[in-house]
Structure 1
Amino acid sequence: MKQRLKMKAGLLALLLPLGFGVNAATWKVSNQESNVSYVSIKQGQIAEVNHFTQVDGQLTELGAFTLTIPLSSVSTGVPIRDTRMKSVFFEVDRYPNLTLNAQIDPKVLQDINVGEVSNVEVAADINLHGESKSMLFQVTVAKLSTTSLLVTSTQPVIINAGQFKLIKGIKKLRDLVGLSEISYAVPVSFVLSLHQ
């Protein structure tokens, strides 16, 4: 009897890591259910909400998070403005993507139960327009199910054009459309839906 119990215990010890391996699958960002948007401010008082129609990313079982945004997917609601943003501001021919990389402690997600929400500070490296900068993000993580996460910005992230050598593009846009002012500071918000 004792021998059988030892065999069962040994078998369970072998199977447990396999079970954890299945549960620790990579999380994929759903493009259809996610949104990254920003607010452009011109003439000091006119604010317009723009967004990107494509996002791609994943979070591995080891906590490595990557997010890629094709800048050609920018959508401002005005076709000619979209074209100018792509060619004049983002220069998508030379710099097609914005990428973000972060390392997240896997224990953070493990400690959130289904139905619970947690506020997390994440340090990430952003590569945009050939420049790379480290920034802190305040995010809210909600575990909707064992295979579904919702990650949102707790507060907007302020991206400054000067950090990524985008001021020249802003000046060109301003001259093209005859504006006296376009803000260099841009608030960015996001909602990311991840599934295993």
Structure 2
Amino acid sequence: MNKWIGIVALSAMASFSCAAQWQVIEQDSRVNFISVKKGDIAEVHHFKQLKGTLADSGQFNLTIPLVGVATGIEVRDERLQNLLFEVSLYPELKLTSQVDSKMLKDLVVGESKVADFDGKISLHGKEQTKTFSVILTKVSDNKLMVSSFQPIIINANEFDLVAGVEKLRDIAGLSSISQAVPVSFVLTLTQQLQ
């Protein structure tokens, strides 16, 4: 009998630990960035793939495979992959952050909170810490939306991407490509309730 009580207790703990983990739902999430060329021609792009988790402790991890960059023009996607991101050497962008776990637990269904979190971005062999201003919305008991309250600016020089930007500018015959890129996002996370 004690053996079965132990197994039931272990199963309950395993279920609880599974329930505590939030997963980013790729098809309902998007990370966008804006490029500006020739001074004032702006275009919106995004990444087709991303995966992420948010633990009950507040530990957040997001991984973006850079081969999934989507600009709407296939040859430009390939140039970004090879000349800018150098995906053969640096295949992913990673973001890690610590979210206030108490705020997460206290969030009730239908409620939104604006919060600032520091996140460490790993991109192209470099790491930078940036402050993300986000809106957290508890959509339902097992659905959470995290979106940018304001864009963050990624500068090419922070991630050793200046040479890549210059290669893109040269191959496309452009007078300029901005090295400052605004990034915004909407992430939908779900939690498997047991």
Specify if TM > 0.5. yes
2:53 aligns with 58
Separation of aligned partners in 2, 1:186 and 1:157? 8
In the TM superposition, residue 21 of structure 1 has moved relative to its aligned partner by: 3.8
Map of 2:110 onto structure 1: 115
The alignment of Structure 1 onto Structure 2 pairs a total of residues equal to 180
SS of equivalent to 2:81 = helix
Residue 102 of structure 1 aligns with an amino acid whose one-letter code is: S
For 1:84 and 1:164, the matched residues in 2 are separated by: 17
Structure 1 residues 120 and 178, CA gap change in structure 2 (3 angstroms): same
Aligned with 1:192: secondary structure?
strand
Q: How far apart are residue 139 of structure 1 and its match?
A: 0.1
- Greater CA radius of gyration, 1 or 2? 1
**TM-score computed with the length of structure 2 as normaliser:** 0.89
Segments of 5+ residues of structure 1 without an aligned counterpart are 1-13
Could you give the per-residue CA deviations for residues 28-75 of structure 1, whole angstroms, max 9, x where no partner exists?
A: 000010000100000010000000000100001111100000000000
* TM-score, normalised by the number of residues in structure 1: 0.88
Unaligned runs of 5+ in 2: 1-8
1:97 has 2:86 as partner: no
2:4 is matched with none
Structure 1 consecutive aligned stretches of length 4 or more whose deviation exceeds 4 Å: none
Q: Alignment partner of 2:28: what SS?
A: coil
Counterpart position of 1:150: 145
State the Cα deviation string for residues 104-128 of structure 1 (Å, max 9, x = none). Answer: 1210111211001000101110000
